[in-house]
């Protein structure tokens, strides 16, 4: 049997050695085949230099990309490696190698985010397994043939300009990965009788290689060159090495050290060794706490184990007691919320549903634990609940409920965008009638609150901690992050990951002793411990300050730190109350959650904005999309935040390209050049909406050149689709639309002619014409009027053609697909204002179909996995269709998916299984918050574009009217603040409306909300006639009294 294993190992080794030689794809001796291209505003140039190809790029302060491409038909073997030499004189940016098929629509890539380009020539090797499908409509994502190759530099953290040099592009066929690998063979420098080296690789945990102490070596021959992602060493008892090295060799003669352990703690040693490839592994053991070593097993882990720190930590957490690691690493979906200051999105904090705090984006977390009677309690050992101060303020609390005690963690952010700090309050309460001793442990650990499955922009999960220092007053993380306890801890412990993730069962004493630790693995942790004696039914408050923005400075509370902390947090609460209550809703208990979520949603928008930039999130979506910003600005205007919306427009508009194109989004890299054809109409809408609410004609005149340029660019796009080709059979629905784009996320695989773009364009044409007229630009107004009317004709002809072609009766999402997307279609109603022009039957069919879908999902007759709460937009559609009860049903359903509900928020993605791990986007999501604000405010008042009337209480449930009814105060409209009360007393309903600065041209309309016929009505004491089921009020203040309400 031994001879057979040796034979198989030799055969496998021979197969590796006989892998096909490299084949030159391009030696770059002639670079004419390579074409340099770039996105809008970015410069690129290809030339021959330094024995290869040189790509020069200049981002010129923008986002975007520069690349070289050549056609190179290439049949790919079953397993292969592509390699090339690379050097660069360039800042840190994203580097990509791409392959496309013959269609050009399907793309595969090897991507390095924020790549530090080598200054000297370096061989880059890309294996088949490292090339991933990027995008495209194909269902077969196995790449067997490529038609074109690209080298791409896209704007990352460095931006700027530079040059990338390439040489010797080759491909090498590799042998297939064997189904089974040879059994490893081990030898050691010494072993006790009956405890030889082979026992460390026999797969049996009960046996072990046992050796004397001191300097010892264990060498493992894998039998062939092999790839893996890490090792796990299983030690027996205390006979472990606490200082040792891991070394690799390809020939058993020349060794390289890949990992050093200096403070191992025995048990199981998980070692992350990403992208490892070797035949021989040597463990060089230097010292241990016992007189010898006993190594039960050396386990080789696959590539996934060490591929990322998150994958490594998740694998380690899977074998740890539940609660030692955060939920996200333990296979459970976690939730969190934002803690920040208005405009401080770039320095915002998070608190998890379990009480962990993250003071800075991508930073460490401070997690609570409680030791009670020698047992360490975590989030997994208690009942956890959440709340907000006053039910709506962005000051979240997490409460741990134990039978004999509670722990409450409250977070608040104080300061300004330039200088802010997180105020952390910890209150331990004794629920028993006897004195109780507890230990509160605050652990600084290498985990973000932002969860491991979050991958966009700011990847969540792991946060490197290489260095920790305690100076007796503050804990310093990586030289900059700080934790300032308001009271001296009884004990402070610092540890590397090899020494064990804290908190340990029994922390070391000595809170005043200075200490520090370094961890090459970047997974150090610290524990601050407080020994607390609680009197019967008593409480103790502790606190910590974590700097968020600005210079870290030690707080200097005067007097009792707990009282100081309470005063500080109350000041934060007072500041937020002043910001969030310009508009108030007075509702019965059944409606209080609506009012609370409204104010919390406004806070979400204010906290996620970064200076003037409105953005949907602070981690995954830390970018400003004009579509998000325009719709958030509409919500801000209605809630009395006009200057916030105005400053956003002033900030965003200058990023417009010279040709009038409005960028889809802007971030720290500048304007993104990706064409998304809703952007132009959204910028124009924002300018017009600001004027409607502020009447600031000077500001409107200042932005007019931007509006005119955007409308002109939009007209160029529209005319590009008014071609004879689009008159041909099968393409009629494309005639005169905005060109295909990926503005709608559902079309990211391949651009489509999305009606989302077209209704935003329609909004833009209408508003541009209005702005021109307001400013007295008669020629421009007439031109835009004509373009608007022509576009409307093309748009509705397209809708008719698309529905005929696809045999449907509802509004399609994209002209060529005929897909059903009612949430996208809501844009036609609001903010689009096209209800009077849309075919009534098509509109009715669209939302009846959605209602049927919604009920099936809600009632369990339709299987579903997840959805996005952008569906909140359908509430506003239902209100405009007169579906009051259905709109309320939608809201009730969406409220149930707030996670946690008490935090009044939605993630971008809601899963059916709340604990199944998935990408969630940001929590909260500012754009979704604006959708909720629109739905709520539309329930109380919205403007009908056809006659510019304000429709009142169209979405208010009739059950809320009984008794004191409902009240709205201070809602901003284009005609000034709107305030009214509406209540039912017995069989009568009374609507009282306060005076407004201006009367809406169409008046204010109230619709009878019950299916029964309305009774007699009086307006200001005089009889008034019904217009169908509606009464229009044209003079204010007014009191409308109606009989006939059901009892």
Burial of 466-497, coded b for 16+ CB within 10 Å and e otherwise, reads: bbbbbeeebbbbbeebbbbbbeebbbbbbbbb
Q: By three-state DSSP, how is residue 75 classified?
A: strand
What is the count of structural domains for the chain?
5
- Let me know whether 686 and 814 are in one domain: yes
Q: What's residue 509's pLDDT?
A: 53
- Let me know whether 157 and 195 are in one domain: no
CATH code, 468: 2.70.98.40
How confident is the model over 839-859, as a mean pLDDT?
Answer: 98
Domain boundary among 814, 835, 856: 835
Q: Are 177 and 195 in contact (CB under 8 A)?
A: no
Q: Are 307 and 276 in contact (CB under 8 A)?
A: no
Q: What's residue 864's pLDDT?
A: 96
pLDDT confidence bin for 68, thresholds 50/70/90:
very high
- Let me know whether 334 and 294 are in one domain: no
pLDDT confidence bin for 340, thresholds 50/70/90:
very high
Domain boundary among 532, 550, 568: 550
Q: What's residue 17's pLDDT?
A: 42
Q: What's residue 558's pLDDT?
A: 77
Decide the pairing of beta strands 107-115 and 145-154.
Answer: unpaired
Q: Measure CA 355 to chain center.
A: 20
Judged against a pLDDT cut of 90, whether residue 689 lies above it is answered with yes
Residue 994 CA to residue 406 CA, distance in Å, equals 48
Residue 936: phi and psi, rounded to 5, are -70, -50
pLDDT confidence bin for 559, thresholds 50/70/90:
confident
Residue 425 CA to residue 545 CA, distance in Å, equals 9
Judged against a pLDDT cut of 90, whether residue 557 lies above it is answered with no
Q: Measure CA 829 to chain center.
A: 28
Cis check: omega of the bond before 1037, within 30 degrees of 0: yes
Residue 56 CA to residue 59 CA, distance in Å, equals 10
CATH code, 42: 2.60.120.430
Q: What is the pTM of this model?
A: 0.95
- Let me know whether 253 and 341 are in one domain: no
> Structure tokens of 875?
């509430």
Domain boundary among 835, 856, 876: 835
Evaluate whether residue 10 is within a structural domain.
Answer: no
- Let me know whether 438 and 495 are in one domain: yes
Q: What's residue 33's pLDDT?
A: 95
Q: What's residue 4's pLDDT?
A: 36
**Three-state SS letters, 891-923:** HHHHHHCCCCHHHCCCCCCEECCCCCCCCCCCC
* Mean per-residue pLDDT of the chain: 95
Judged against a pLDDT cut of 70, whether residue 240 lies above it is answered with yes
**Three-state SS letters, 127-159:** EHHHCEEEECCCCCCCCCEEEEEEEEEECCCCC
Evaluate whether residue 525 is within a structural domain.
Answer: yes
Judged against a pLDDT cut of 80, whether residue 552 lies above it is answered with no
Q: Are 448 and 366 in contact (CB under 8 A)?
A: no
Judged against a pLDDT cut of 80, whether residue 553 lies above it is answered with no
Identify which of 98, 90, 180 has the alpha carbon closest to the alpha carbon of residue 131: 98
Residue 717 CA to residue 721 CA, distance in Å, equals 7
Evaluate whether residue 902 is within a structural domain.
Answer: no
- The lowest-confidence range among 150-154, 644-648, 744-748 is 744-748
**Three-state SS letters, 748-763:** CCCCECEHHHHHHHHH
Q: Which residue has the higher pLDDT, 456 or 552?
A: 456
- What's the alpha-carbon Rg for the chain, to the nearest Å? 33
CATH code, 236: 2.60.120.260
pLDDT confidence bin for 956, thresholds 50/70/90:
very high
Identify which of 313, 315, 335 has the alpha carbon closest to the alpha carbon of residue 396: 335
- Let me know whether 67 and 134 are in one domain: yes
Hey, CA dihedral for 694, 697, 700, 702, is it positive or negative?
Answer: negative
Residue 726 CA to residue 505 CA, distance in Å, equals 72
Evaluate whether residue 767 is within a structural domain.
Answer: yes
Q: Where are the beta strands (DSSP E) in 236-364?
A: 243-249, 256-261, 268-287, 292-301, 336-339, 349-352, 357-358
Judged against a pLDDT cut of 80, whether residue 506 lies above it is answered with no
Q: Are 1018 and 1009 in contact (CB under 8 A)?
A: no
CATH code, 974: 2.60.420
How confident is the model over 956-965, as a mean pLDDT?
Answer: 97
- Let me know whether 290 and 343 are in one domain: no
Residue 138 CA to residue 751 CA, distance in Å, equals 14
Q: What's residue 12's pLDDT?
A: 41
Note the residue count of the chain: 1047
* Beta carbons within 10 angstroms of residue 283's beta carbon: 24
- Let me know whether 289 and 395 are in one domain: no
Q: Are 101 and 145 in contact (CB under 8 A)?
A: yes
- Let me know whether 364 and 290 are in one domain: no
Q: Which residue has the higher pLDDT, 514 or 213?
A: 213
Cβ neighbours for 666, distance < 8 A, ≥ 6 positions apart: 63, 613, 623, 624, 652, 655, 672
Residue 99 CA to residue 146 CA, distance in Å, equals 6
How confident is the model over 898-919, as a mean pLDDT?
Answer: 96
Q: Which residue reads 């300050």 in tokens?
A: 545
Judged against a pLDDT cut of 70, whether residue 1011 lies above it is answered with yes
How confident is the model over 44-60, as a mean pLDDT?
Answer: 96
Read off the pLDDT of residues 248-265 as tens digits, 9 standing for 90 and up: 999 999 999 999 999 999
- Let me know whether 121 and 250 are in one domain: no
Task: Give the N- to C-terminal CA distance of the chain in Å, as an integer.
Answer: 91
Q: Are 191 and 294 in contact (CB under 8 A)?
A: no
DSSP-assigned beta bridge partners for residue 808? none
pLDDT confidence bin for 505, thresholds 50/70/90:
low
How confident is the model over 684-696, as a mean pLDDT?
Answer: 98
Judged against a pLDDT cut of 90, whether residue 463 lies above it is answered with yes
Instruction: Find the domain containing 293 and state its range.
Output: 185-307
Judged against a pLDDT cut of 50, whether residue 787 lies above it is answered with yes
CB-neighbour burial class of residue 971 (10 A; exposed 0-12, middle 13-18, buried 19+): buried
- Let me know whether 739 and 775 are in one domain: yes
CB-neighbour burial class of residue 556 (10 A; exposed 0-12, middle 13-18, buried 19+): exposed
Judged against a pLDDT cut of 80, whether residue 15 lies above it is answered with no
Q: Measure CA 890 to chain center.
A: 24
Q: By three-state DSSP, how is residue 305 classified?
A: helix
Read off the pLDDT of residues 94-116 as tens digits, 9 standing for 90 and up: 999 999 999 999 999 999 999 99
Q: What's residue 18's pLDDT?
A: 46
Evaluate whether residue 878 is within a structural domain.
Answer: no
Judged against a pLDDT cut of 90, whether residue 302 lies above it is answered with yes
Q: What's residue 408's pLDDT?
A: 98
> Structure tokens of 404?
């004999």
Identify which of 433, 435, 441 has the alpha carbon closest to the alpha carbon of residue 407: 441
- Let me know whether 682 and 830 are in one domain: yes
How confident is the model over 126-133, as a mean pLDDT?
Answer: 95
pLDDT confidence bin for 820, thresholds 50/70/90:
very high
Give the CA dihedral 663, 667, 672, 677, nearest 10 degrees.
-40
Could you tell me the CA-to-CA distances from 250 to 11, 281, 649, 731 in Å, in that order? Answer: 17, 9, 61, 61
Cβ neighbours for 334, distance < 8 A, ≥ 6 positions apart: 326, 327, 328, 352, 353, 354, 449, 451
Evaluate whether residue 194 is within a structural domain.
Answer: yes
Judged against a pLDDT cut of 50, whether residue 11 lies above it is answered with no
How confident is the model over 140-156, as a mean pLDDT?
Answer: 96
Residue 636: phi and psi, rounded to 5, are -60, -40
- What percent of the chain stands above pLDDT 70? 97
Q: What's residue 748's pLDDT?
A: 85
Evaluate whether residue 607 is within a structural domain.
Answer: no
Q: Are 651 and 598 in contact (CB under 8 A)?
A: no
Decide the pairing of beta strands 539-549 and 515-518.
Answer: unpaired
Read off the pLDDT of residues 580-599 as tens digits, 9 standing for 90 and up: 999 999 999 999 999 999 99
Read off the pLDDT of residues 623-638 as tens digits, 9 standing for 90 and up: 999 999 999 999 999 9
Q: Where are the beta strands (DSSP E) in 552-688?
A: 584-586, 624-625, 665-667, 670-671
Q: Are 442 and 527 in contact (CB under 8 A)?
A: yes
Could you tell me the CA-to-CA distances from 666 to 306, 650, 675, 745 in Å, in that order? Answer: 34, 13, 13, 17
Read off the pLDDT of residues 214-224 as tens digits, 9 standing for 90 and up: 999 999 999 99
Q: What's residue 507's pLDDT?
A: 55
Residue 202: phi and psi, rounded to 5, are -95, 0
Residue 309 CA to residue 315 CA, distance in Å, equals 10
Evaluate whether residue 626 is within a structural domain.
Answer: no
């Amino acid at each position: 049997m031994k001879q057979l294993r040796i034979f198989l190992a030799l055969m496998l080794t021979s197969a590796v050695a006989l892998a096909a030689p490299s084949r030159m794809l391009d030696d770059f001796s002639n670079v004419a085949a390579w074409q340099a291209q770039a996105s809008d505003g970015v410069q690129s140039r290809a030339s021959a230099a330094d024995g290869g190809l040189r790509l020069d790029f200049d981002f010129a302060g923008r986002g975007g990309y520069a690349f070289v491409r050549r056609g190179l038909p290439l049949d790919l073997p079953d397993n292969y490696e592509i390699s090339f030499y690379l050097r660069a004189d360039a800042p840190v940016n994203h580097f990509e190698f791409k392959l496309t098929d013959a269609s050009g629509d399907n793309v595969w890539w090897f991507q390095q985010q924020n790549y530090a380009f080598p200054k000297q020539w370096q061989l880059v090797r890309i294996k088949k397994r490292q090339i991933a499908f990027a995008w495209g409509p194909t269902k077969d994502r196995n790449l067997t043939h490529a038609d074109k190759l690209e080298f791409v530099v896209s704007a990352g953290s460095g931006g700027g300009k530079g040059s990338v040099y390439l040489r010797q592009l080759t491909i090498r066929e590799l042998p297939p990965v064997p189904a089974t690998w040879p059994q490893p063979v081990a030898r050691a420098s010494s072993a006790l009788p009956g405890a030889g080296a082979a026992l460390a690789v026999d797969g049996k945990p009960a046996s072990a290689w046992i050796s004397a102490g001191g300097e010892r070596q264990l060498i493992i021959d894998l039998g062939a060159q092999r790839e893996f992602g890490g090792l796990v060493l299983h030690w027996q008892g205390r006979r472990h090495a606490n200082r040792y090295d891991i070394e690799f060799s390809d020939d058993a003669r020349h060794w390289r050290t890949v990992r050093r352990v200096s403070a191992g703690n025995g048990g199981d040693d998980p070692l992350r060794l990403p992208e490892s490839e070797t035949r021989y592994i040597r463990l060089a053991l230097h010292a241990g706490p016992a007189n010898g070593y006993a190594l039960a097993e050396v386990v080789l882990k696959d590539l996934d184990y060490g591929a990322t720190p998150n994958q490594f930590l998740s694998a380690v957490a899977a074998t740890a007691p539940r609660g030692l690691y955060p939920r996200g690493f333990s296979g459970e979906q976690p939730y969190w919320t934002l803690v920040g200051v208005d405009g401080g999105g770039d320095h915002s904090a998070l608190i998890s549903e379990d009480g962990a705090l993250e003071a800075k984006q991508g930073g460490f977390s401070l997690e609570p634990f409680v030791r009670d009677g020698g047992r360490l309690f975590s989030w997994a050992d208690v009942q956890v609940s959440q709340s907000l101060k006053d039910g709506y303020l962005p000051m979240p609390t997490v409460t741990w409920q134990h039978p004999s005690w509670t722990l409450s963690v409250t977070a608040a952010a104080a300061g300004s965008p330039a200088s802010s700090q997180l105020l952390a309050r910890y209150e331990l309460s004794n629920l028993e009638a006897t004195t109780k001793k507890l230990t509160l442990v605050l652990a600084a650990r290498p985990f973000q609150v932002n969860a491991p499955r979050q991958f966009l922009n700011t990847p969540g999960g792991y946060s490197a901690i290489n260095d920790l220092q305690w100076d007796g007053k503050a804990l310093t993380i990586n030289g900059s992050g700080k934790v300032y306890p308001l009271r001296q801890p009884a004990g402070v412990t610092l540890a590397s990951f090899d020494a064990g993730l804290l908190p340990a069962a029994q922390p070391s004493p000595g809170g005043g002793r200075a200490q520090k630790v370094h961890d090459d693995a970047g997974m150090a942790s610290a524990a601050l411990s407080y020994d607390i004696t609680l009197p019967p039914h008593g409480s103790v408050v502790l606190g910590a300050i974590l700097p968020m923005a600005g210079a870290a400075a030690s707080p200097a509370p005067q007097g009792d730190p707990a009282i100081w902390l309470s005063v500080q947090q109350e000041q934060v609460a007072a500041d937020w109350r002043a910001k969030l209550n310009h508009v108030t809703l007075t509702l019965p208990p059944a409606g209080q959650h609506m009012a609370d979520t409204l104010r919390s949603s406004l806070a979400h928008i204010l906290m996620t904005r970064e200076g003037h930039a409105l953005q949907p999130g602070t981690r995954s979506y830390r970018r400003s999309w004009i579509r998000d910003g325009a719709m958030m600005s509409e919500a801000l205007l209605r809630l009395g935040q006009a200057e916030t919306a105005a400053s956003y427009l002033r900030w965003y508009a200058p990023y417009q390209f010279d040709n009038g194109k409005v960028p889809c989004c802007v971030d720290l890299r500048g304007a993104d050049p990706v064409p998304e054809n809703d952007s132009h109409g959204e910028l124009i809408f924002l300018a017009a909406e600001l004027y409607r609410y502020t009447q600031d004609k000077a500001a409107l005149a200042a932005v007019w050149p931007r509006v005119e340029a955007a409308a002109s660019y939009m007209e160029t796009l529209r005319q590009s689709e008014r071609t004879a080709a689009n008159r041909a059979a099968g393409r009629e629905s494309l005639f005169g639309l905005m060109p295909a784009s990926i503005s709608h996320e559902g079309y990211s695989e391949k651009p489509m002619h999305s009606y989302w773009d077209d209704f935003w364009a329609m909004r833009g044409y209408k508003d541009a014409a209005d702005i021109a007229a307001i400013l007295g630009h008669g020629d421009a107004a007439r031109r835009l009027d004509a373009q608007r009317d022509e576009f409307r004709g093309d748009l509705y002809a397209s809708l008719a053609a698309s529905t005929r072609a696809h045999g449907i009766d509802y509004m399609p999402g994209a002209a060529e697909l005929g897909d059903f997307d009612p949430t996208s279609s809501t844009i036609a109603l609001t903010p689009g204002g096209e209800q009077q022009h849309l075919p009534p039957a098509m509109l009715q069919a669209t939302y009846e179909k959605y209602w049927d879908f919604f009920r099936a999902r809600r009632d369990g007759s339709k299987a579903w996995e997840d959805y996005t709460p952008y569906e909140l937009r359908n509430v506003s559609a239902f209100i405009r269709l007169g579906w009051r009860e259905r709109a309320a049903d939608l809201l009730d359903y969406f409220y149930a998916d707030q996670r946690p509900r008490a935090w009044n928020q939605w993630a971008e993605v809601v899963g059916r299984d709340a604990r199944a791990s998935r990408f969630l986007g940001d929590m909260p999501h500012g754009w979704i918050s604006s959708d909720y604000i629109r739905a709520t405010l539309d329930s109380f008042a919205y403007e009908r574009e056809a006659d510019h009337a304000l429709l009142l209480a169209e979405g208010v449930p009739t059950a809320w009217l009984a008794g004191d009814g409902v009240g709205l105060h201070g809602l901003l409209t284009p005609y000034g603040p709107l305030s009214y009360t509406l209540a039912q007393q017995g069989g009568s309903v009374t609507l009282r409306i306060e005076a407004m600065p201006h009367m809406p041209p169409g008046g204010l309309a109230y619709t009878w909300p019950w299916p029964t016929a309305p009774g007699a009505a009086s307006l200001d004491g005089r009889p008034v006639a019904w217009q169908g089921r509606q009464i229009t009020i044209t003079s204010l203040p007014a009191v409308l009294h109606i009989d006939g309400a059901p009892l």
